[in-house]
Amino acid sequence: MNLTDRARQRCSWLPSTDIPEGPRYKTLADQIATSVANGELKPGERLPPQRLLADALEVTVGTITRAYREAERRGLVEAKVGSGTRVRDAGMERPDFHHLSRATTDSIDLSLSIPIPNPLRTQQLSAIMAQLAEQPAQLDNALHYQPEQGNTQQREQLAAWLTSLGLDTRAEDLLLTIGGQHADYLTLQSLIRPGEAVASDALTYPGMIAAARQLGLKHLPVSMDREGMRADALERLCQRQRIRLLYLLPEHNNPTVTQMSQRRREEIVRIARKYDLLLLEDGVQFVRPELRGTPFYHLAPERSLYIFSVSKILSGGLRFGALRAPANLMQQLCNGLRSQCWASPGLMGAVTCDWLSSPDSALLINWQWDELTARHAILEKTLSGYEFMSHPCGFYAWLHLPEPWRASDFVEQAAQRGVTLVSPEPFCVGSQPAPQAIRICLTPPAHREALEIGLTRMAELLAEGPRLSAPLV
Ligand SMILES: Cc1ncc(COP(=O)(O)O)c(C=O)c1O
């Protein structure tokens, strides 16, 4: 029996003996990250003793120590004197929640669509930045002015990552942007002339409403049903008005959480071809591959643009995104980007693309998807009996308020109970009336318990009904 076989007998997990390129300690830390991400290494599981692993892999104990330290720095494992190095729970330590009890007025924010807080984010970012700091050639590359379309290596990294998650993309199809909002704005600014019209769901992402307004474009609402944009309503609008671009949130409308069926997508494409519309699909609210429908760029590649951003999976502060566009539109988009900011920042791109390409990001992203599932279960439990739309990957749900509640009263009275919500007004296109409904974001609280307290306060308020406050005469 050789050393590796002997080690295999004693340890439930061993890294592969195929050695990828790169410093050995780092590739070992990467293997730990991959195994944690794909579940081969479970929370609490002990890593092999350092001496045993060093002998099995024919490296020095120092290399293993460095690899374990690197894994610890990335937040993957935890070393404790006497009990070795164990895999961390990717979730959070359990804090004390007494201060959030119902008697207090501490505010619980359910208004923002942001990634779920987890200390892993900062740990991973700090490890990625430290690794980058050790690579002078890559740093030098990041310091140069970048091409308008974005740094080539970063576009390749991003294309490979998107493709691995079922969004097949080539580097040449991508233009790097300063987040998703920038991609929205850039598309309108570069492809639509002032005074021309764009259309979207009647309730849509407020950043698109703001961009169209800022650029002096007409923004027309299309009425919606449980699948989002109605094809018959779109066709009627196109018969009356010349529309240049259709903004689409087919996976997960913000705020109504509707998802389009394949049939609806095909109907929209038929209308887009008939009336020569550009299709701008915004994929910033990133959905698990197995729950995603066909992207519009597959159905109508000649006229479809797709927006991606890391804001909902890594962090909004990175301000990193991309626009996937047909080749015949790329030059116009590059001209637009050049006139705004020359190119997106090379250094931010390097950090973000290294992070996305590292096995660590999969750990974080999978953790968030699992955590969302748990949070949706809390939502189902606390608001059972009320009518709401939700999606397993959704950061938010859309609650239809029971009569006689009005959304503005509910937002105000929830605030008095210590729950921050946003009114539906900012999501309304043009002068569309706001529905009596509320977007409830499940992600801002750092802990599930805080979410549950916030939702319970909402359920109590719903059950009690509105307090009359307006003057009656
Ligand atoms: C649909 C949609 N598009 C774009 C954005 C903005 O993304 P970013 O933060 O990357 O600019 C958001 C943010 O919530 C969003 O919901």
Residue with tokens 């903004």: 247
How much helix, strand and coil, in percent to the nearest 5, is found in the chain? 45, 15, 40
Residue among 208, 256, 285 to mutate when testing ligand 1 (max atoms within 8 A of CB): 285
Mean pLDDT by 10 residues, the chain (473 residues): 72 79 85 83 89 88 90 85 82 46 68 96 95 95 95 97 96 98 98 96 98 97 97 98 98 96 98 98 94 97 98 97 98 98 96 95 94 97 96 95 96 97 97 95 96 98 89 74
How far is the centre of ligand 1, averaged over its atoms, from the C-alpha of 180 (Å)? 5
Q: Is the beta carbon of 180 within 6 A of some atom in ligand 1? A: yes
CA atoms within 13 A on the CB side of 369: 14
How far is the centre of ligand 1, averaged over its atoms, from the C-alpha of 256 (Å)? 15
Residue 313 contacts by C-beta under 8 Å, 6 or more apart in sequence?
115, 286, 361, 364, 365, 368
> Which pLDDT value is given to residue 73?
81
Q: Quote the CA–CA distance of 367 and 373 in Å, as a whole number.
A: 10
The secondary structure element, H or E, covering residue 278 is: strand 278-282
The secondary structure element, H or E, covering residue 457 is: helix 448-464
Q: Is the beta carbon of 321 within 6 A of some atom in ligand 1? A: yes
Q: Quote the CA–CA distance of 372 and 310 in Å, as a whole number.
A: 17
Q: Is the beta carbon of 281 within 6 A of some atom in ligand 1? A: no
Domains in the chain (CATH in brackets) are: 3-87 (1.10.10.10), 98-110+360-464 (3.90.1150.10), 124-357 (3.40.640.10)
The secondary structure element, H or E, covering residue 131 is: helix 119-133
> Which pLDDT value is given to residue 290?
94
Task: Determine the number of helices (DSSP H) and then strands (DSSP E) in the chain.
Answer: 17, 16
Q: Quote the CA–CA distance of 77 and 423 in Å, as a whole number.
A: 42
Residue among 158, 257, 306, 311 to mutate when testing ligand 1 (max atoms within 8 A of CB): 311
CA 93 to chain centre: 23
Q: Among candidates 284, 141, 121, 118, which has minimal Cα distance to 206?
A: 284
Report the atom number in ligand 1 closest to the C-alpha of 249: 1
Q: Is the beta carbon of 255 within 6 A of some atom in ligand 1? A: no
Alpha-carbon dihedral of residues 168, 171, 177, 183, nearest 10 degrees? -40
Amino acid at 87: V
Q: Quote the CA–CA distance of 189 and 214 in Å, as a whole number.
A: 10
Q: Quote the CA–CA distance of 220 and 132 in Å, as a whole number.
A: 46
Q: Is the beta carbon of 115 within 6 A of some atom in ligand 1? A: no
> Which pLDDT value is given to residue 428?
98
Q: Quote the CA–CA distance of 132 and 130 in Å, as a whole number.
A: 5
> Which pLDDT value is given to residue 42?
87
Nearest residue (CA) to ligand 1, atom 7? 180
Q: End-to-end CA distance of the chain: give it in Å, rounded.
A: 92
Residue 168 — φ and ψ, nearest 5°?
Answer: -60, 125
Q: Among candidates 377, 331, 442, which has minimal Cα distance to 109?
A: 442
Residue 398 — φ and ψ, nearest 5°?
Answer: -120, 110
Residue among 176, 251, 309, 427 to mutate when testing ligand 1 (max atoms within 8 A of CB): 309
Nearest residue (CA) to ligand 1, atom 8? 180
